[in-house]
Chains A and B, each alone.
Chain A
């Protein structure tokens, strides 16, 4: 490692320490303006110590064009998805207050951050340690304000910090690092600004919920990286194009299918929903740790005694067997029992509580979910 790179590594580690202090203890960088000032000071120190490099990368316009196409396509799919799952109103920042306290400082922060990233990575050259340190710094920088308010005693909050902030931040920063290395910092300013601001600039967005939202935030940078990677593969003269294309296509198709299947069954937005069984009340037919598929396309009036149904009770979904159906006037009341329980469940189930019928069971694969829930 060169002497300048050692100095740069120490500089980057100091930045990490400072941002960690802000995240966990001092918490003074509480707005985008303050974060921008922090970056500006860091850039000034960087200039004094190391000087700046000019951005001479090629294909910037091509990559920016590709990113615009990816965004347009993604938004079309995103809003079409919203036709199925519904929309929610967003908190728009169209006022002067929003512009000066949110939109403008956010864009300035992104510009300064990506410029700093570029400068560090240019000096890093082939040093993997410096690249890693820079990714760590910018990841913690991105989540610094979320870590301030997090409670680390509650497993739900810890997981949400991980799923909604940390994992997307890691994904964003790995993607931004890769793109910076390939084409400089300018494309990053575009896609990171749109990713961070669209929610504040659009009046309605699809109501994806936390799970699908986390998936989108995590996987979207992967799509951009894949596009940039493919672009440079086409430009490369070293690797035979045909072999490489087949390999890339297979990986992309596999990943896309995998994610699509997972989201289809676990999001709950579509006909079939997979849930993990957390107790043994339906032993021996359905065991703890099994996953069952709930078919939501049912008419409660056509249910029969003996069928296994899923219903909502006390903010949970319960899977038990129907033992009795009563009709009072035009209304139906359902009574259920766990196969392993001594008695019938202590309450009547109304039609609107029923989620669906369980016909398919996949043994054992729900165990990680059950173990995590029991922690």
Chain B
């Protein structure tokens, strides 16, 4: 009987030790549930933010044969940058398009269009125009950005090599439907007429374009 009691005590002690180990490791490992701050109300924009982005590839169309598109840039997230074109004479222009898609479950509203810098210019070849001439010619380069159903509804003031005021406080023609609604973003860069004629092709680098959307108009 005494031996039987000892065995029961031994098995019970083992069970208790095993449970204590398991409870202890469970308590001290990082496997417990936590709650968020119960009083913080999350604005739907936080869930909306991740799901309205540039979608697909950007494309550019030159106005004539002697106009070259070196890069249509990369349109991803909320930023489109890296557009580089070569223009030869006044009247030349390039039109680039990209698409923004709203894959969230909330309707969105375009609120602002921002260019992150001025237009930049460089001479296309080493024995081309002088830097002073390039700067002079660059002053005749103008860029606009339009965003909307057709890409023509909300158009920024002209962006040049000395100014890049965007468009903000947009309240009309700016809605983008939830669950795969789209906006077209149209960028046009023009070699102004009348304008100074460059001795050579001018490589024009356009600023990056960032869009801001909200769930409230």
Contact = CB atoms under 8 A, between A and B. Distances in A.
Nearest to A333: B50
B32 A275 contact: yes
Given A338-B35, A346-B40, A215 B47 contact: no
Per CB-CB distance, the 10 closest pairs between chain A and chain B, nearest first, are A281-B35, A372-B27, A278-B32, A343-B42, A373-B27, A211-B25, A343-B41, A279-B35, A344-B42, A369-B26
A211 B33 contact: no
Contacts of B30: 315-317
Contacts of A270: none
B11 interface: yes
Interface of B: 4, 7, 11, 14-15, 17-19, 21-36, 38-42, 46-47, 50-51, 53, 55, 103-105
Contacts of B38: 281, 338, 340-342
Given A279-B33, A333-B51, A341-B38, 5 more contacts: A247-B4, A251-B7, A273-B31, A281-B36, A281-B38
A274 B103 CA distance: 35
A218 B23 CA distance: 15
A227 to B, nearest CB: 15
Interface residues of A, number: 59
A282 interface: yes
Among B14, B23, B31, B55, find the residue whose CB has the most chain A CB atoms closer than 10 A.
Answer: B31
A368 B47 CA distance: 37
A167 B11 CA distance: 15
A206 interface: no
Interface string A211-224: 10011001100100
A209 to B, nearest CB: 9
Interface of A: 155-156, 159, 162-163, 167, 210-211, 214-215, 218-219, 222, 247, 251, 254-255, 258-259, 262, 266, 268, 273-282, 315-319, 324, 326-329, 333, 335, 338, 340-346, 348, 366, 368-370, 372-373
A282 B103 contact: no
Contacts of B35: 279-281, 338, 340-341
B33 A222 contact: no
A254 B11 contact: yes
A159 B25 CA distance: 8
A282 B33 contact: yes
A362 B51 CA distance: 37
B27 A370 contact: yes
Contacts of A370: 27, 32
A103 B150 CA distance: 79
